[in-house]
Amino acid sequence: MPIPDYETLMLPVLKAFAAGATKVSDCLPELIREFGISDEEAAELQPSGRKTVLADRAHWARTYMSKAGLLESPRRNLHVITPRGRDLLEERPERIDNRILARFEGFENWRSAEREAPPDTLPDIPSVARATPEEEIERAFAALQGALETELLTRLHSMDPVRFERLILDLLKAMGYGAGSFGSHEMTKASGDGGIDGIIHEDALGLDAVYIQAKRYQPETKVGRPAIQQFIGSLTGEGATKGVFVTTSAFSAEAKDYLTKVQHRVVLIDGSQLARLMIRHGVGVRDRLAYVIRSVDEDYFADPEG
């Protein structure tokens, strides 16, 4: 089954500590058993790749309950259930969530303090699957990235063709390709049956070159097999073996399949990939806000050796 949200994990995590668990990792086997979590689901990592989704949600369940005084940490890597936590379990609740924790003064004080700094970082609005603060940040970041990709594509569709070709050169340079000349009055434009828009030299002497084709198409106009065949013909005419075909739209299945039948090394970049590459390599975008998420430095607080 999908990994439960952190509120759903609160009650079983508290029960695990009542049964003798001393750290969150001790709780994970019981959570896996109780919720029928598969090995693949248990191994699922957060987008950051530093922690599993299950461990992260269990940690947040522990953190929230600690703020309510149900758990305490007398020393590093040791968490124990408090008398308040045992009293709550004596009530045999069917579920523990933020509404239950709100009964306790410590939790409300903590939540009030968090709300003083907008925007509220607590996942406090009802949802089907309640997310941890880190998950909310990742979800919001993904939404912002998606909106930015859409806006970039809108700009690209209305861009002057020559300026678009220059943008592709800027992007390839930002990606680490060499100093080539491309699509403007300052370059020598290559020619071929299907036309080549520019060249990127991978070395200073120009011994190894990547030939570029850039098509600024509207979303409904896919690049088909004939356009790819023309590009391959142009590469052959130039004695080239490598190329990049970039479009603001997409490639048809036939176009992609055709490349599996030729010896030339050609990379296809569609509109969505183009927008993501621009964002990743800082072309046509600028940084606006940066948030630094810090965590406790366990090494700093470690007991000195000896």
Q: What is the structure's pLDDT at 184?
A: 33
Angle of the 53-67 helix axis to the 133-157 helix axis, nearest 10: 130
| In contact, 98 and 7? CB cutoff 8 Å | yes
Could you tell me if 114 and 164 lie in one domain? Answer: no
Could you tell me if 180 and 275 lie in one domain? Answer: yes
Predicted structure pTM score: 0.62
pLDDT at 192 over 50: no
Q: What is the structure's pLDDT at 126?
A: 34
Q: What is the structure's pLDDT at 246?
A: 94
Which residues face 78 on adjacent strands? 75
pLDDT (tens digit per residue) in 143-153: 788 878 888 88
Q: What is the structure's pLDDT at 74?
A: 82
Is residue 142 a part of any domain in this protein?
no
Short-list 199, 261, 266, 257, CA closest to 231:
266
R_g of the chain computed on alpha carbons? 28
pLDDT (tens digit per residue) in 16-64: 999 999 999 999 999 999 999 999 999 998 877 778 999 989 988 998 8
pLDDT at 161 over 80: yes
How far from the centroid of its chain's Cα atoms is residue 97's Cα? 28
275-304 burial, b at 16+ Cβ within 10 Å, e below that, comes to bebbeebebeeeeeeeeeeeeeeeeeeeee
As a whole number of angstroms, the distance between CA 284 and CA 212 comes to 19
Q: What is the structure's pLDDT at 191?
A: 46
Is residue 18 a part of any domain in this protein?
yes
171 versus 105: the higher-pLDDT residue is 171
Lowest mean pLDDT among 20-29, 106-115, 154-163, 285-294: 106-115
The whole-chain average pLDDT of the chain stands at 82
49 versus 179: the higher-pLDDT residue is 49
pLDDT at 207 over 50: yes
Token pair belonging to 13: 């995590």
| In contact, 130 and 7? CB cutoff 8 Å | yes
Is residue 246 a part of any domain in this protein?
yes
246-270 burial, b at 16+ Cβ within 10 Å, e below that, comes to bbbbbbbeebeebbeeeeeebebbb
Q: What angle do CA 185, 264, 171 make, to 5 degrees?
A: 40
Is residue 130 a part of any domain in this protein?
no
As to burial, measured by CB atoms within 10 angstroms (0-12 exposed, 13-18 middle, 19+ buried), residue 119 is exposed
Where among 66, 99, 118 does a domain terminate? 118
As a whole number of angstroms, the distance between CA 70 and CA 88 comes to 8
Confidence of residue 6 (pLDDT cuts 50, 70, 90): very high
Distances (CA, A) of 93 to 33, 71, 97: 20, 17, 10
DSSP letter (8 states) at residue 251: B
Q: Which residues contact 273 (CB under 8 A, 6 or more apart)?
A: none
CATH number, domain of 257, equals 3.40.1350.10
Could you tell me if 182 and 235 lie in one domain? Answer: yes
Q: Domain tally for the chain?
A: 2
Is residue 295 a part of any domain in this protein?
no
- Beta strands across the sheet bearing 242-247: 198-201, 209-215, 242-247, 265-269
Is residue 90 a part of any domain in this protein?
yes
Task: List alpha helices for the chain, DSSP H.
Answer: 6-18, 24-35, 39-42, 53-67, 83-90, 98-101, 105-115, 133-157, 161-174, 225-237, 253-259, 271-281, 298-301
Is residue 297 a part of any domain in this protein?
no
Cis peptide before 126 (omega within 30 of 0): no
Domain with 101, as residue range(s), is 6-118
